[in-house]
C-alpha cells in the first residue's frame, strides 16, 4: 500500500485537495478528524487535557470548548506544546488504526492529510509527500474569511506551524494553490496520475514499505521453520523408532 503524505499550512487548501482525492476514489485519513475524536468527552485524551487545562475549557455539556482551547494554545507556545504532548500518542494510534483498516480493505493508495506531518515527524512513513502551498497574504485572507477570525488570531495560528516555505523544501510534490479552484483542479490532475502510478519493483524494494515487507516475510519464514523444527522434534519424542540412530564414534 502506498501512503501519500498531504500537508501544508493552516488554510493552505489541504482539505480542498483531500476532497479531490476522495472524488477520485482515493481514501483519505484526516488527522484533524482523528484529533477531534480523541478529544471527545470521556476519552483518554479528554481526561488528560481537562486535568492539565482545568474545567474552564469545558462547555456545559462537558465537551471541550474548542474555540476557547484554541485561543489559549495558539497564543501561548508552551501551552500548545503541552496540548500536543498530551494528545500526540492518541492521535498517532488513531491514525495507525485508520491506516490498518484501509490496509485490511486492500486499498492500494491512501492519503494521510496531516497538518503537522513534519512537526510530528510522521513524514518518514509517507511517500511521496505533497505540500499544498499558498503565498502568505492569500493564506491569511483565506483563513480570516473561512474562520471569521481577527488578523491577530489568524497570524497566531499561522505562526504556530512550521513556515510553508520550509515545508516545501521537504516535499516531493508541491501544489501551488494561490490561484483559482479551477487551476487547482488542473494541477491536481497531474498529481493524481503521479501518485497512482504503480511502483517499479526496484523502487518498491528500496522503499521503507518494501523493507517492511521484506522484514515481515523473513520473520514469517524463520517462524515457520522454527515451528516445523519443533513439530519434528515432538514427532521424534513420540515415535522414537522414526528417529535417526545417533552416529557412534568408536575409538
Ligand X SMILES: CC(C)(COP(=O)(O)OP(=O)(O)OC[C@H]1O[C@@H](n2cnc3c(N)ncnc32)[C@H](O)[C@@H]1O)[C@@H](O)C(=O)NCCC(=O)NCCS
Considering only residues 15 to 74 of the shown chain, the ones binding ligand ATP according to CB under 6 A are 15-16, 32
How would you list the strands of the sheet with 109-113, edge to edge?
28-30, 109-113, 2-8, 129-133, 173-176
User: CB of 56: closest distance to ligand X in angstroms?
Assistant: 14
- The x, y and z cell numbers of residue 134, run together, are 499558498
**Minimum distance of ligand X from residue 222's CB (angstroms):** 37
Closest CA to 179 of 113, 133, 129: 133
- Is there binding between residue 13 and ligand ATP (CB under 6 A)? yes
Query: Do residues 167 and 118 make contact, with C-beta atoms less than 8 angstroms apart?
Result: yes
Q: Residue 45, interface with ligand X (CB under 6 A)? A: no
Site for ligand X in 149-168 (CB under 6 A): 157, 160-161
Half-sphere exposure of 210 (CA within 13 A, CB side): 10
Would you state the cell numbers that stand for residue 39, as one nine-digit string? 478529544
Nine-digit cell string for 76 = 501561548
Pick one of 6, 83, 115, 153: the residue that binds ligand ATP (CB under 6 A).
115
> Nearest to residue 12, comparing CAs of 114, 106, 125, 89?
114
Q: Which of 20, 58, 69, 134 forms a contact with ligand X (CB under 6 A)? A: 69
| Contacting residue, 5, 6, 8, 160, with ligand ATP by CB under 6 A | 8
- Between 181 and 216, CB nearer to ligand ATP: 181
Name which of residues 123 to 152 contact ligand X (CB under 6 A): none
Between 138 and 157, how does the x/- string for binding to ligand ATP read (CB under 6 A)? ----x---x-----------
Among positions 3, 6, 26, 87, the unique one binding ligand X when judged by CB under 6 A: 87
Q: Select the span of 81-89, 123-131, 183-191, 239-247 touching ligand X (CB under 6 A).
A: 81-89
Helices of type H across 65-207? 66-74, 77-104, 136-147, 151-159, 164-167, 181-196, 201-206
Residue 28's DSSP bridge partners are 111
What string marks each residue from 160 to 179 as x (binds ligand ATP by CB under 6 A) or -?
-----------------x--
Q: Which one of ligand X, ligand ATP, none is in contact with 13 (Cβ closer than 5 to 8 A by kind)?
A: ligand ATP
Residue 158: which of ligand ATP, ligand X, none does it interact with, CB under 5 to 8 A by kind? Answer: none
Q: Which residues of 88-104 are buried (b: 16+ CB within 10 A; e: fewer)?
A: bebbbebbeebbeebee
Cα-Cα-Cα-Cα dihedral sign, residues 26, 125, 81, 39: positive
Residue of 3, 4, 6, 14 interacting with ligand ATP (CB under 6 A) = 14
10 binds ligand X (CB under 6 A): yes
Closest separation between CB of residue 188 and ligand ATP, Å?
Answer: 10
Amino acid at each position: 500500500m502506498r501512503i501519500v503524505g498531504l500537508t501544508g499550512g493552516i488554510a493552505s487548501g489541504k482539505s480542498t485537495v483531500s476532497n479531490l482525492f476522495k472524488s477520485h476514489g482515493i481514501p483519505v485519513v484526516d488527522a484533524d478528524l482523528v484529533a477531534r475524536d480523541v478529544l471527545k468527552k470521556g476519552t483518554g485524551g479528554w481526561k488528560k487535557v481537562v486535568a492539565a487545562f482545568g474545567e474552564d475549557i469545558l462547555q456545559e455539556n462537558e465537551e471541550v470548548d474548542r474555540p476557547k482551547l484554541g485561543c489559549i494554545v495558539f497564543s501561548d507556545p508552551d501551552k500548545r506544546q503541552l496540548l500536543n504532548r498530551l494528545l500526540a500518542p492518541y492521535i498517532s494510534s488513531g491514525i495507525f488504526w485508520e491506516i490498518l483498516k484501509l490496509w485490511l480493505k486492500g486499498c492500494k493508495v491512501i492519503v494521510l492529510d496531516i497538518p503537522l506531518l513534519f512537526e510530528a515527524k510522521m513524514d518518514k512513513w509517507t511517500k511521496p509527500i505533497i505540500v499544498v502551498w499558498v503565498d502568505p497574504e492569500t493564506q491569511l485572507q483565506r483563513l480570516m474569511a473561512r474562520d471569521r477570525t481577527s488578523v491577530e488570531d489568524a497570524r497566531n495560528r499561522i505562526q504556530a506551524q512550521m513556515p510553508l516555505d520550509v515545508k516545501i523544501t521537504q516535499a516531493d510534490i508541491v501544489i501551488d494553490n494561490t490561484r483559482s479552484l479551477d487551476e487547482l483542479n488542473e494541477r491536481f490532475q497531474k498529481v493524481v496520475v503521479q501518485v497512482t502510478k504503480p511502483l517499479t519493483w526496484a523502487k518498491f524494494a528500496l522503499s521503507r514499505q518494501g523493507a517492511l515487507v521484506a522484514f515481515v516475510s523473513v520473520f514469517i519464514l524463520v517462524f515457520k521453520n522454527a515451528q516445523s523444527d519443533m513439530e519434528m522434534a515432538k514427532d521424534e519424542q513420540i515415535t522414537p523408532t522414526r528417529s535417526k540412530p545417533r552416529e557412534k564414534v568408536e575409538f
